[in-house]
Homo-oligomer: A and B are copies of this chain.
Amino acid sequence: MACERNQDVASFVCNGKKIVGVALNYMCAVKARNVPVPTVPLVFLKPTTSYLTEGHPILLPRVFSKVAYEVELGVVIGKRCKNVPKTDAMKYVGGYCLALDLTAQCNLGVARSSGGPWTLGKGFDTSTPVSRFIPYDDVDDPHTLPLWLRVNGELKQNGCTGDLIFKIPDIISYVSKYMTLEPYDLILTGTPHGSEPFKAGDIIECGMGDLAKIKFNVQNE
């Protein structure tokens, strides 16, 4: 085969070992929260036990009072890499997915104000609902994708990956200065403005251009 790109990472939900999230990566979201514009990607981890696929409900943990949706472009790593220059970064992308980065704002608020880790508010079970894998070649330009999210039919988020503050090569290059990225790792690139808490009984639906559309019911744990 002429193309050396590894797009054989469709089973990222089963085989992945890490999920790297980027916070505050859309200018509209930064402005809405009235926080300083990040000068480097704000990187956090989620465990792979947080993955959820369609047909299973989002479970709101008993321990949380306020969990919010965040619709995001996910980037699946295709090839092991470390210290990647921005100009080479896209070679390590195996494909994409549509994802939700569910966030317990109650927990995150306390963590942020006390200087604590973000792990529990970001890493709980079912906090990373994802679509099917989208191979690299199926996406002409990952930085022109419309992202939308509806709760019970009502439009709540409506953005475009063109507005990412740190683009995919920026993120891969930055993160790989610190940690090796491996095949099946997922990068959550951030969410546009409009993230809000939701509740049991809600139906959350989101889409990314004509590439992916996913729908989840919400239940209390």
Binding site for B on A (CB under 8 A): 17-18, 20, 23, 42-50, 61-63, 82, 111-113, 115-120, 123-125, 177-182
Contacts of A181 in B (CB 8 A): 49
By the criterion CB–CB under 8 Å, are B42 and A18 in contact? no
Contacts of A123 in B (CB 8 A): 45, 178-179
A9 to B: closest C-beta gap in Å: 16
Q: How many of these chains are in the complex?
A: 2
Contacts of A62 in B (CB 8 A): 177
Given known A17-B17, A63-B177, A177-B61, contact A43–B115 (CB-CB < 8 A): no
> How far apart sit A42 and B107, CA to CA, in the bound complex (Å)?
12
A85 to B: closest C-beta gap in Å: 14
Contacts of A61 in B (CB 8 A): 177-178
A80 to B: closest C-beta gap in Å: 9
By the criterion CB–CB under 8 Å, are A111 and B115 in contact? yes
